[in-house]
């Protein structure tokens, strides 16, 4: 048992469990929202706006399917952290051959940089919309602000920032939806009816990559394992697993609602008017004559909040992966974690300076994430199904089958998208 786990056992004892009332469940809400903000980021905005403006309500089912997959994957990643005290990156280093672990974690780190690129770029677009700042300057400001917030905050302080940001983004979209006429019958059918209109496959890949994001699996397992429930006994582990599922279900549900609102907003304002969104700033400008000037400002402010908050979580994930390569837990004051954070944000900001088409850059970054996703999914299946890694807490046969099916599905989508 490592020193941190030993201190956790000494502090909490071996049999302590939490209460089972509503207050205890509410106290469990937080880690999942860190994940949620990652899939309501600017890359999602671009993917969802493209989906809604081109295909109306027709691709809402992708949001639903992706969210169901996400709930299963994120709960399983948290399961690893709760049961073993290791995050996904640490477990990869500990239980795979060194060269295999380094290759996998390097690919995950690159995917996280692509994620951070989208977050920083989206925040820069928002600053351009609000204050007329050039994208290069806006990118540097967003990257610097996010890094400063992360370097000076603990987990709990970051969680509070994220909860506030997610709440404001959600309220912003409720405001926007209140201004449009939604055909809820069509929306309801779109949520549950698979449909692949001609030319939609690249958008499907983008939406999938924007919702089910590799870096979030690493981040969720890290945030959970940092509390070292495994050192407090089986009763605590069992208790935390049930409460964590509530957190994941609630948080992913919030993300599903906000992503759906983006698609619906684009469907009602752009698709019905025959407009295809190819630029977020232009989309906001187009909203003004349709919904009023206030809608444009709200759109831009929500985009800025999404860019800032998701930049924080992307950088945290980068630090987690970097630390995990050395078998360490994430600690912003440790050089492996802090260098991972800084390198990710610096590279993302520099690439933003080279991007010519911000909207296509956002969409492409999300499609790239879907290409790395099968690697992370099958890695997670291997680790969480192993008795050597998980002991008595390894996946049930049902869970393993569900995870493998998700891995096969995202792989098939990627292959079809590449061939097509």
What burial letters (b/e) apply to 369-403, b meaning 16+ CB within 10 Å?
bbbbbbbbbbbbbebbbeeebbeebbbeeebeebb
At 343 the three-state DSSP class reads: helix
Mean pLDDT, rounded, of the chain: 82
Weakest-pLDDT range from 39-43, 211-215, 300-304: 39-43
Please report which confidence band the pLDDT of residue 244 belongs to, taking 50, 70 and 90 as the band edges: confident
Q: Rounded CA gap, 331 and 334, in Å? A: 5
Please report which confidence band the pLDDT of residue 194 belongs to, taking 50, 70 and 90 as the band edges: very high
Whether residue 83 is predicted with pLDDT greater than 70 in this model: the reply is yes
Whether residue 286 is predicted with pLDDT greater than 70 in this model: the reply is no
Give residue 284's pLDDT. Answer: 66
What does the pLDDT average to over 100-104?
Answer: 96
Please report which confidence band the pLDDT of residue 13 belongs to, taking 50, 70 and 90 as the band edges: very low
What does the pLDDT average to over 305-328?
Answer: 91
Whether residue 306 is predicted with pLDDT greater than 90 in this model: the reply is no
Please report which confidence band the pLDDT of residue 16 belongs to, taking 50, 70 and 90 as the band edges: very low
CB neighbour list of residue 238: distance below 8 Å, 6 or more residues apart? 17
Q: Rounded CA gap, 417 and 420, in Å? A: 5
Name the residue with tokens 């005290």. 85
The full DSSP string for 245-303 is: HHHHHHHHHHHHHHHHHHHHHHHHHTGGGT-----HHHHHHHHHHHH-HHHHHHHHHHH
CA 46 distance to own-chain centroid: 15
Whether residue 367 is predicted with pLDDT greater than 80 in this model: the reply is no
Tens digits of residue pLDDT in 371-382: 898 999 999 999
CA 305 distance to own-chain centroid: 15
Contact assessment for residue 219 and residue 78, using Cβ atoms and an 8 Å cutoff: no
Q: Rounded CA gap, 413 and 309, in Å? A: 29
Structure tokens at 333: 């004051």
Please report which confidence band the pLDDT of residue 42 belongs to, taking 50, 70 and 90 as the band edges: confident
Whether residue 2 is predicted with pLDDT greater than 50 in this model: the reply is no
Structure tokens at 18: 């939490």
Q: Is 293 exposed, middle or buried (0-12, 13-18, 19+ CB in 10 A)?
A: exposed
Please report which confidence band the pLDDT of residue 10 belongs to, taking 50, 70 and 90 as the band edges: very low
Give residue 363's pLDDT. Answer: 66
Closest to 360 in 3D by CA, of 129, 49, 40: 49
Q: What domains does the chain contain, in order, with CATH numbers?
A: 33-419 (1.20.1740.10)
């Amino acid at each position: 048992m490592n020193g941190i786990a030993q201190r956790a056992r000494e502090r909490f004892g071996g049999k302590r469990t939490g209460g089972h009332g509503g207050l205890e469940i509410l106290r469990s809400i937080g880690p999942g929202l860190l994940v949620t903000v990652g899939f309501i980021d600017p890359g999602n905005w671009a993917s969802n706006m493209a989906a809604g403006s081109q295909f109306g309500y027709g691709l809402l089912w992708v949001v639903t399917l992706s969210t169901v997959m996400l709930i299963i994957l994120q709960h399983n990643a948290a399961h690893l952290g709760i049961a073993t005290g290791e995050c996904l990156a640490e477990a990869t280093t500990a239980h795979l051959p060194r060269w295999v672990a380094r290759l996998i974690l390097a690919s995950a780190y690159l995917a996280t940089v692509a994620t951070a690129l989208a977050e920083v770029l989206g925040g820069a677009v928002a600053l351009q919309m609000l204050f007329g700042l050039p994208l290069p300057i806006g990118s540097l400001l967003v990257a610097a602000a996010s890094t400063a917030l992360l370097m000076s905050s603990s987990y709990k302080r970051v969680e509070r920032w994220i909860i506030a940001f997610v709440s404001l983004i959600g309220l912003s979209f409720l405001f926007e939806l209140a201004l449009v006429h939604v055909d809820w019958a069509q929306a309801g059918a779109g949520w549950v009816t698979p449909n692949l209109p001609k030319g939609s496959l690249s958008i499907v890949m983008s939406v999938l990559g924007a919702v089910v994001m590799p870096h979030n699996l690493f981040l969720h397992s890290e945030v959970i394992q940092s509390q070292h429930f495994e050192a407090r006994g089986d009763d605590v582990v069992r208790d935390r697993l049930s409460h964590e599922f509530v957190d994941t279900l609630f948080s992913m549900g919030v993300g599903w609602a906000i992503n759906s609102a983006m698609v619906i907003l684009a469907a009602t304002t752009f698709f019905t008017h025959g407009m295809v969104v190819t630029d977020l700033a232009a989309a906001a400008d187009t909203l003004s004559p349709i919904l009023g000037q206030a809608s444009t400002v709200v759109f831009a402010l929500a985009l800025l909040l999404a860019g800032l908050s998701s930049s924080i979580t992307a950088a945290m994930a980068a630090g987690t992966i970097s630390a995990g390569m050395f078998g360490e837990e994430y600690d912003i004051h440790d050089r492996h974690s802090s260098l991972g954070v800084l390198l990710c944000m610096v590279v993302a900001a520099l690439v933003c300076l080279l991007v010519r088409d911000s909207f296509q850059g956002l969409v492409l970054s999300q499609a790239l994430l879907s290409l790395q996703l099968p690697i992370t999914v099958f890695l997670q299946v291997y680790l969480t199904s192993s008795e050597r890694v998980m002991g008595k807490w390894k996946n049930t046969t049902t869970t393993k089958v569900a995870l493998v099916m998700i891995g096969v599905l995202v792989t098939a989508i990627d292959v079809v998208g590449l061939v097509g």
